[in-house]
Structure 1
Amino acid sequence: MALGVAKGLRAINQLIKINDHKMEVLLKGNKGPLVIILTGMGCSFEEWYKVTQTLSKTYRVLTFHRQGLGQSEIGSGIQNTASTVRDLAEILHHLQIDEPFYLMGHSYGGLCVQHFAKVHPEMVAGVILVDSTSVDLKELEKLDLPVLNQDTDEMWIEKSLEYSTRSEQELLEILKPSINEKHCQFPKTIQQKLLDFQVNPLLFKAMASEIKEWTKDAEVIRSLGDFPDVPLIVIGRDKEYSIQSELDNGIPEWELRVFEEKWEELITHQSKLSLQGELVFASDSGHSVFLDRPDLIIECVHKMVRRVDCVPSLQK
């Protein structure tokens, strides 16, 4: 059974009890293959509005807020890629999903996707990694970049933990949450959800744990063996676009170039995880490909579904 609860409905946003916490789950569409999206660190699934809205016309789309994000409660354990894999497996069980699906992950969500695909390869029909964090992320830390390296993981953990002790009102005054011009194209209700998302103290508690754990997570994922031989599309950002976008932030161009060249190398390497891997670079896009080039993400989903032989069985 596949998302039977969503039959005949356009979109459902619901809270599902998973072990000791509730998870905010969004279901869109009621026909076609199932596409599951895992968002990046500190990112709301509402930012994927254009992608999910378009895909839901052809596919069933499932996404969720990890523990502490949005309306999702935070459990008693560590928030890391393993906890995300467990939560997704429980959500699938709760929704009685027993069919292979297409799994897409952005940034940190891509790291979670790589973990899930290795633990549950039989459930994955195909994978799309969108400017995904690499299991070789330590390579970025080795770069000698004086300005960029001022923003350490330890600094972000400390800042996140401090924010996690504040009230929503205090965070409102400290952070002065805002939305960008691309968000302004979304419905007003979505814009408000994006603003509210930014001042949730639990968001920062979850982020602190994810940042603290992600280097260890990468090693765990590497130790799990080979990535499954499934159709794979790896989407990388536009290196030159990203460099130009950051120049106004006081970072030397040579540092940006060294970092972006290493990031591109890691993205390229991800496309070799599967013998069926394909590499695509999103022209005119920074890290937030889902905002800068939603059209490319949608096109890649269509391309992957056409490539997979088991499509008829997915449309039961």
Structure 2
Amino acid sequence: MRKPGRRLATLAAAAVAILPFAAHAQLPAPPSAEALAVRAAWWDGYLANGRLVALPDGRRMHLYCEGSGGPVVVLDAGLGDGAWSFAGVQDAIARTSRVCSYDRAGYGTSSPGPMPRDSKALADDLFAMLKASGEAGPYVVVGHSIASLDVREFALTHPKDVAGLVLIDPSYEGQMERMAAVAPTVAAAQANATAPYKMCAATPRTEAADRLCGLIPTSGLPPAAQAWMKAQARGPAYFQAMLGELDAFQGADAADTRELTGAREALAAKAKGRPPLGDTPLVVLTATSHPAPGMTAEEGVAMERLWNAMHDQIAALSARGSNRIVPGATHYIHDVRPQLVVDAVAEVVAAARKGR
């Protein structure tokens, strides 16, 4: 939630876990006219051609697919973002591949999901939605930030359904504890960053809270998208979904997050001397600019070193994994360097096609 239409301007503290280690996020430079046109075209398609897919339990999830050619690319957004997070890259990917973005449970028009909202639950939702949608696998799954945990769980639990992975500045299990050890200043700030979420998740909300929680910048969004965001994207269910994901990631369920089905399978594979994801193509893209007010220069260096080391560990999940540093890029690499993300997806798709 960091560009027009995605951030509560008065709730900057809600950036916790959207950026990997910032309690407050810096807004990027305004997008160019070309980038705005690309996003406007995406919104036209999303609003006109998105569909609600019925899950076996009766819930519905919003899915938007375009393009043709397998394997199907599936885009999973970071905390607080729905399909719209990929407005700058989905159309470009669709020129050569079938590609689908979706809104997780509680986001947009997708039905809320039962608690806990840990990676197992989210991966199960993704699997059920894809099977019900008729979009045939195997898939190249793309996960940004916290969603990387979900797509990794998906890949580890359903290996035959995954042809490759691209992880955009991914989160890592247990990262909060590890980061607290090297940057206590940022850890302390993050501890108080979720209060606005709780106010906005309350039902009923006060009139004042309702106005505050519904605030979204509209600059750069086409009129139809402005109306949709105001009507669909800032109700209590949206904030409840984010809180559920945050609780699983850094709260009481953190231990469970590190002991998911997929993680256990990964440990078993490692014990047998093979990478958990075998030779599945895997590209990790690592940003190098993570602004965090209050962080000392020494903490910044230590945090970036730790962040890169964790991404090396993620890349090692596959014999064909690589961690690629993107100099100067912020956490939303698909915004600031969209072509790099498009190219990484195309590379993994090509490797998957060659391996068939």
TM-score by length of 1: 0.82
Asked whether 1:218 is paired with 2:262, we answer: no
| Per-residue deviation, 1:21 | 1.9
Task: Please show how residues 140-151 of structure 1 align to structure 2 within 5 Å.
Answer: 140-151=178-189
Task: Please show how residues 261-300 of structure 1 align to structure 2 within 5 Å.
Answer: 261-300=305-344
Task: Please show how residues 123-142 of structure 1 align to structure 2 within 5 Å.
Answer: 123-142=161-180
Contact 1:44 1:194 in 2 (8 A): no
Task: Please show how residues 105-254 of structure 1 align to structure 2 within 5 Å.
Answer: 105-152=143-190, 155-165=192-202, 167=205, 170-171=208-209, 173-175=211-213, 177-179=215-217, 184=220, 187-190=222-225, 193=228, 199-214=234-249, 215=254, 216-220=256-260, 221-225=262-266, 226=269, 227-229=276-278, 230-238=280-288, 241-242=289-290, 245-246=291-292, 249-254=293-298
Cα distance in 2 for partners of 1:191, 1:265 equals: 40
Structure 1 counterpart SS, 2:126: helix
Structure 2 counterpart SS, 1:143: helix
| Per-residue deviation, 1:44 | 2.3
Contact 1:118 1:228 in 2 (8 A): yes
Letter in 2 for 1:165: A
Cα distance in 1 for partners of 2:64, 2:197 equals: 26
Contact 2:72 2:136 in 1 (8 A): no
The total of aligned residue pairs comes to 293
Q: Runs of 4 or more off by more than 6 Å in structure 1? A: none
| Per-residue deviation, 1:47 | 2.2
| Per-residue deviation, 1:144 | 4.4
Distance 1:54 1:187, change over 3 A: farther
* CA deviation string 1:144-180 (max 9, x = no partner): 4332112345x44554232201549645632574459
TM-score by length of 2: 0.74
Letter in 2 for 1:281: I
Which of 78, 86, 95 lines up with 1:40 in the alignment? 78
* Ranges in structure 1 where 5+ consecutive residues have no aligned partner: 1-9
| Per-residue deviation, 1:254 | 2.5
Letter in 1 for 2:128: E
| Per-residue deviation, 1:265 | 1.3
Letter in 2 for 1:222: A
| Per-residue deviation, 1:198 | 5.3
* 1:68 corresponding residue in structure 2: 106
| Per-residue deviation, 1:73 | 1.5
